[in-house]
Amino acid sequence: MRFGARIALAVITLAVTATACGAPQDGGSPSRTAADCAPYARYGEHPGTEVTVYAENRDREADLFEETWADFADCTGIDVRYEGDGEFEARIQLRVDGGNAPDVAFFPQPGLMERFARAGRLKPVGAGVAALAEQGWSADWNSYATVDGTLYGTPLVANVKSFVWYSPAFFRDRGLSVPRTWDELMAVTEKVAASGVKPWCAGVESAEATGWPVTDWIEDVLLRQQGTRVYDQWVAHEIPFDDPRVLRAMDTVGSLLKNDRYANGGFGPARSMASISFQEAGTPVLSGDCAMHRQASFYADLWPEGTEIGPDKDVYAFLLPGVDPASRPVLGGGVFTAAFADRPEVRAFQEYLASADFANARMRKGPYVSAHKGVDPANAATPVDRLSIRLLQDPRTQFRFDGSDLMPASVGAGTFWKGAVDWIGGAGTRQVAGSIERSWPTR
């Protein structure tokens, strides 16, 4: 499940008519001075040009993007026209097939971007963007935008999915420590259960994407138990979906989430999570009816208004531990930018989006996580964003992208999500995994 999948509508276009550096703005906004525009001189001047951008982000997320590149647009003279669409994934293909491709698209799923690259519709990045990509991101991150050795895009947004949200006061009052290993996590789980509180709360309802919180759980545990090599083989279908090692990961998750003694805190029996929305699933942590909720960094935006986040606040988060304290597997997701056109103004805009300047400027405006090596964690808006960035920049981190976003859509966003719901509802591990394996498309 990708970052930014939320409700709402809107087609938002940049209201400012961009002008060349130093020229007055429509609507009376102050003109830029040469000094104001100095940071953007490297991108050149492109007066009278336009770059269209199509993405799923709407409302405040869209506003923050536009506010971030407003100075770039004014100083370069490029009119950046942004369109946010909640049906992006379904409509981008229709637009491209209909001859209405945007200049730049923000792809929430690398697999979708790869499809357009293999069809010859996307433009490989230019030398300038390629150099920025190599400088800014790890090889793992760049690999998700690379098809047959050619780089087609760069990461734009990142998130960390391997977080466990908890109440520091709840832990402190019960003498619990943040677990550093999986065995310690199970010890905390058992101690909380013995006190009469169900340690875990979860919810898998998410409209057409129902099921993804459980698939994230399974991916996270597989990554911890088997490491990156087996995880990569599984995602690429080089081993069967129902490989015994995958079944083991599912059963480990099941020992927590399908166990009425451990779940579903604050809501009822374990099966209740099938009808609980992922947005509300963590709220029992605040009332003490649940001790832990595994969810991504973007869950920071979903706590009730007024909830304070931090090591000594209402809630905070720790990394879902691995088998030993030295291991640092991190499951995450993100958004990638790629272009269907390669005009000079499009390349200039791509280079700006690939820069640390863009990432730092966006982060100063509100919650945002980037895996860019040049991002300063001090600019992060929340403690969890700061923690996420430090994890993503740590060379010891073994990052892997959300597997369901990399698998063929008919599996990753289809039979895997649906199978996860059936499994939580009582279906057997071997039965569900076997069904997903049989659904994998043949070439």
The answer to whether the pTM exceeds 0.75 is yes
Residue 34's pLDDT is 73
In the predicted structure, residue 209 carries a pLDDT above the cut 90:
no
Alpha carbon distances (Å) from 19 to 23, 25, 357, 379: 6, 7, 21, 29
Task: Report the distance separating Cα 170 and Cα 149, nearest Å.
Answer: 49
Q: Which residues of 12-50 are buried (b: 16+ CB within 10 A; e: fewer)?
A: bebebebbbbeeeeeeeeeebeeeebeebeebebbeebe
Average pLDDT over residues 137-146: 93
276 closest CA partner among 211, 204, 216 = 204
Single-letter amino acid code for the residue at 57: N
Average pLDDT over residues 119-144: 95
For tokens 């402190």, the residue is 172
Q: For 421, phi and psi rounded to 5 degrees?
A: -70, -45
| pLDDT band at residue 207 under the 50/70/90 scheme | confident
Task: Report the distance separating Cα 387 and Cα 159, nearest Å.
Answer: 11
9-18, 156-165, 167-176, 282-291: which has the minimum mean pLDDT? 9-18
Query: For residues 77 and 21, is the Cβ–Cβ distance under 8 A?
Result: yes
Looking at every residue in the chain, the average pLDDT score rounds to 91
In the predicted structure, residue 199 carries a pLDDT above the cut 70:
yes
2-11, 76-85, 286-295, 355-364: which has the minimum mean pLDDT? 2-11
